[in-house]
Amino acid sequence: MMHHNPPTADRPRPTADHRRTATGHRPTADHQRTANGQRPTADHQRTANGQRPTAYTLGLLGHPLGHSLSPVLHRAALQAVGLEGEYRLYDVPPEAAERLIPQLLDDLRGGRLHGLNVTIPYKQQVTAWVEDLTDAARGCGAVNTLYAEAGRLVGHNTDAAGFWEDARRRLPLMEAPGWQVVLLGAGGAARAVAYAALRQGWPVHVLARRLEQARALAHHFRAQGRAQVFPHPWERRTDPAAPWFTGRLPVLLVNATPVGMHPHTQASPWPEVGPWPRGAAYDLVYNPRETRFVAAARRAGLPAADGLGMLVWQAALAFQRWTGIPAREVLPAMARAVGLDLREV
């Protein structure tokens, strides 16, 4: 997949007839209503001069981005609701971040970009470069969605809601009260999962290869008054004395690391030998659909799900932030675009 260069001031001017659908008709008013039935009025749908964008220029910031499905998802959403626009990849290596990322953020503030997603390795770093954080982004301590509102850069997080919406549908047993989460990994995606779980009142146990990273995650949430988050060394995963084996609560075991992702499909964050806790498993990795982690969990008798549904949900919720179009209106198109069964969303 080709990577686009960071945007410049001479970007081609988008066409004006952005409100027509593929059939040539203007979309109905329902496309312009939010989930509560009201027309969207958020400032972040307008450019710096107060006008709605004639076409949406969206993109993804991260590194590496070679196998990203985000362009497929957002182009499908734009087409489904009859909006002109494009979705670009901004692959910025860490050594160029201090030089290139501020340029992208200036384009957002100036209305030359209308929305950015953020992925590895910048979800936490970018929080220092925005003027405002939404409650979700502040709660997670990580940003995956950026937009401008009244000329100010806003960081938002749709990963937490995306995870929760998908996990509770794919693993219906989670609707029963009283779970604990064992979280493998302590990066930006892990923080979103922890935030979603803590909001349910579930205790969270965090295991990371670097114990200081797990401790930093725990400190972030404890500083917000969320005390039920506990760091553990990576080596304790299958310790029979660990609380996820000895406690009475069922366990949602979540892989929030990239371990097992294509092309390293033979790897798993959970030891092949050793016990599995009682409960369910969820892997944020979605390529391949059945990772070694998911396959082993199923063999051990645990219901298990991959992260493709979370990817679709977080994308639809970000699209809603940028355009005001409810996530539910673009979910079917996004799901079809990546081969996800509509019953899974």
Structure tokens at 258: 């990239």
Q: Is the peptide bond before 275 cis (omega within 30 degrees of 0)?
A: no
Q: d(Cα 105, Cα 148) in Å, to the nearest integer?
A: 9
Q: d(Cα 159, Cα 251) in Å, to the nearest integer?
A: 21
Query: b/e map of 273-293 (b: 16 or more CB within 10 Å)?
Result: eeebbebbbbbbbbbeeebbb
Q: d(Cα 39, Cα 55) in Å, to the nearest integer?
A: 19
Beta strands in 134-228 (DSSP E): 145-149, 152-156, 180-184, 204-208
Q: d(Cα 257, Cα 267) in Å, to the nearest integer?
A: 11
Handedness of CA 323, 118, 197, 216 (dihedral sign): negative
Q: In what order do the strands lie in the sheet with 204-208?
A: 229-233, 204-208, 180-184, 251-255, 279-283, 304-305
> What are the catalytic residues?
123
- CA distances, 47 to each of 19, 107, 188, 323, 333 (Å): 16, 11, 29, 12, 26
Closest CA to 71 of 51, 52, 57, 54: 57
Report the half-sphere exposure of 3 (CA within 13 A, side-chain side). Answer: 15
